[in-house]
């Protein structure tokens, strides 16, 4: 089975062709066109600009992946597109393009939830049995969830305000750095010398739920930055910010592992753009070792937004439900994993 995936929910236009290969998946060709430079002057993603960029590049990227694989449209068994959550303009571009390809080839159209793509991508290269636990940390979402099957997810905890990636991006802006902030804060934190001197809060760390909160942390960072920090103090602050976030995430995932013992969970999956952070990866690896549970994290290139995860989720869907989705499905800017 070969599926072509399209991702246009935010500021990356991506098209990928993935082939099912003995229950796992093989990337035949993947293209990702980042719009980061276009949005950088505005300090965040401008929706109108994003949808225009997606619309301008989607055909070329599709032609490129087909040329690179020597496949033509009729060789593809299904066309998968992100249909939410995300920015409506971008979702419409990708969703309608996939529907068009599905109509002219008479092959299935597959409507994929972007978060489902992030959660399932780890299964493309490794056998991971359901149910498994997952921490999904991206620019728009921070979720601790139980993946019960390819299409059924139970949210155990989530951020009640800012998502982790959003907190990184906002803090980066406060520190005078650019967008996206996560990789820049990670880099700055490596230069830290005097550790733990700002007493940043660990919001909700002693709360009994698995929910998270990061907006207070950002406010504390703002107050500290107003004191005009030196370059080396900024590095210390970036380091402490990263540690504070990680401690909160570790505490809540620890709770999730303990509270789901009856499911006999064997695997913990870290996913989403923030999962490409090496410090966070290492801390979770250590936690899983201590808890005697397998630690799985995708390659960094598969943590941030990409169409391979959409194509792979399409393969999982097509092999389970055997047919495509209705062409009457419309993109949903807000779409919880629990209501798939």
Residues that bind ligand KG4 (CB under 6 A): 10, 138-140, 165, 168-169, 180-183, 186, 272-274, 276-277, 304-305
Are 288 and 256 in contact, with CB atoms under 8 Å apart?
no
Nearer to Zn ion, 140 or 201 (CB): 140
Q: How far is the CB of 208 from ligand KG4 (least distance, A)?
A: 27
Q: Would you tell me which residues interact with Zn ion (CB under 5 A)?
A: 138, 305
Q: Which does 117 bind (CB under 5 to 8 A by kind): Zn ion, ligand KG4, none?
A: none
Q: How far is the CB of 340 from Zn ion (least distance, A)?
A: 16
Q: How far is the CB of 138 from Zn ion (least distance, A)?
A: 4
Nearer to ligand KG4, 188 or 210 (CB): 188
Residue 131, preceding bond cis, omega within 30 degrees? Answer: yes
Q: Which does 165 bind (CB under 5 to 8 A by kind): ligand KG4, Zn ion, none?
A: ligand KG4
Q: Which does 157 bind (CB under 5 to 8 A by kind): Zn ion, ligand KG4, none?
A: none
Nearer to Zn ion, 85 or 203 (CB): 85
* CA–CA gap between residue 322 and residue 107 (Å, rounded): 12
Are 289 and 281 in contact, with CB atoms under 8 Å apart?
no
Nearer to Zn ion, 164 or 188 (CB): 164
Q: Which long-range contacts (CB under 8 A, 24 or more apart) does 276-279 make?
A: 276/182, 276/183, 276/300, 276/303, 276/304, 277/182, 277/183, 277/186, 277/242, 278/186, 279/186, 279/189, 279/242, 279/243, 279/246
* CA–CA gap between residue 14 and residue 94 (Å, rounded): 9
Nearest CA to 135 out of 210, 209, 61 is that of 210
Residue 187: other Cβ atoms inside 10 A: 12
Q: Which does 306 bind (CB under 5 to 8 A by kind): ligand KG4, Zn ion, none?
A: none
* CA–CA gap between residue 236 and residue 198 (Å, rounded): 9
Nearer to ligand KG4, 46 or 73 (CB): 46
Q: Which does 277 bind (CB under 5 to 8 A by kind): Zn ion, ligand KG4, none?
A: ligand KG4
């Amino acid at each position: 089975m070969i599926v072509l995936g399209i991702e246009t929910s935010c500021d990356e236009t991506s098209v990928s062709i993935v082939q099912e290969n003995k229950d796992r998946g093989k990337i035949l060709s993947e293209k990702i066109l980042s719009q980061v430079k276009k949005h950088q002057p505005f300090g965040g993603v401008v929706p109108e600009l994003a949808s225009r960029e997606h619309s301008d590049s989607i055909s070329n990227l599709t032609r490129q992946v087909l040329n690179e694989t020597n496949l033509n449209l009729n060789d593809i068994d299904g066309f998968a597109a992100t249909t939410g959550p995300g920015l409506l303009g971008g979702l419409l571009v990708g969703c309608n393009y996939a529907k068009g390809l599905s109509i002219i080839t008479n092959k299935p159209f597959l409507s994929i939830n972007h978060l489902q793509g992030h959660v399932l991508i780890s299964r493309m290269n490794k056998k991971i049995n359901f149910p498994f636990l997952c921490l999904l940390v991206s620019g728009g979402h921070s979720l601790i969830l139980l993946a019960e099957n390819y299409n059924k997810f139970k949210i155990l905890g989530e951020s009640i305000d800012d998502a982790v990636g959003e907190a990184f991006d906002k803090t980066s802006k406060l520190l005078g750095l650019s967008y996206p902030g996560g990789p820049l804060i990670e880099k700055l934190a490596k230069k830290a010398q005097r550790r733990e001197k700002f007493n940043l809060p660990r919001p909700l760390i002693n709360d009994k739920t698995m929910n998270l909160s990061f907006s207070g942390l950002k406010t504390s960072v703002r107050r500290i930055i107003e004191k005009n920090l030196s370059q080396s103090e900024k590095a210390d602050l970036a380091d402490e910010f990263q540690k504070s976030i990680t401690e909160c995430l570790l505490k809540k995932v620890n709770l999730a592992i303990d509270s789901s013992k009856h499911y006999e969970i064997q695997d913990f999956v870290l996913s989403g753009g923030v999962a490409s952070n090496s410090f966070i990866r290492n801390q979770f690896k250590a936690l899983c070792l201590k808890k005697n549970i397998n630690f799985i994290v995708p390659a960094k290139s598969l943590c941030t937004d990409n169409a391979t995860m959409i194509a792979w989720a399409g393969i999982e869907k097509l092999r389970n439900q055997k047919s495509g989705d209705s062409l009457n499905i419309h993109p949903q800017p807000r779409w919880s994993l629990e209501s798939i």
